Copies of this chain bind each other. A is one copy, B any other.
Amino acid sequence: MAIKISIIGASGYTGVELMRLLSDHNEAELVCVTSRQYAGKKVTSVFPSLIGFYDLEFVEPNIELISNNSEVVFTCVPHQTAMDVVPTLLKKGLKVIDLSADFRISDKDVYEKWYQSHTSPDLLKDAVYGLVEIYRDKIKTARLVANPGCYPTSTILPLYPLLKEGLIDEHSIIVDSKSGTSGAGRSLSHAILFCEVNEAFKAYKIAEHRHTPEIEQELSKACGKNVLINFTPHLVPMSRGILTTIYANVKNNVSEDELRQALSNFYNNSYFVKILPKGQFPNVLNVRGTNFCHIGLKKDVRTNRVIIISAIDNLCKGASGQAIQNMNLMAGLDEKVGLMQPGLYP
Contact = CB atoms under 8 A, between A and B. Distances in A.
Given A186-B190, A200-B285, A342 B23 contact: yes
Contacts of A53: 342
Contact of A178 (B20, B178, B198): B178
A245 B286 contact: no
A173 to B, nearest CB: 9
A115 interface: no
A21 to B, nearest CB: 9
Contact of A195 (B13, B230, B245): B13
Contact of A201 (B20, B238, B305): B238
Interface residues of A, number: 86
Nearest to A340: B24
A263 interface: no
A289 interface: yes
* Residue in A181, A271, A342 with the greatest tally of chain B CB atoms within 10 Å: A342
A240 interface: yes
A280 interface: yes
Interface string A37-51: 000000001011111
Contact of A194 (B192, B243, B284): B192
B199 A346 contact: yes
Nearest to A45: B280
Interface string A263-293: 0000000010010110011111111111010
A204 interface: yes
A257 interface: no
A297 to B, nearest CB: 9
A280 B47 CA distance: 12
* Residue in A50, A201, A285 with the greatest tally of chain B CB atoms within 10 Å: A201
Contacts of A236: 201, 236-237
Contacts of A188: 188-190, 193
Interface of A: 13, 16, 19-20, 23-24, 45, 47-53, 174, 176, 178, 180-182, 186, 188-190, 192-204, 206-207, 228-230, 232, 234, 236-241, 243, 245, 247, 271, 274, 276-277, 280-290, 292, 294, 298-300, 302-303, 305, 307, 309, 311, 340-346
23 contacts: A19-B342, A20-B342, A20-B343, A23-B341, A47-B345, A49-B287, A49-B290, A51-B286, A174-B174, A176-B247, A188-B189, A194-B194, A194-B237, A195-B239, A198-B199, A199-B199, A201-B311, A202-B243, A202-B283, A203-B245, A203-B309, A206-B298, A240-B346
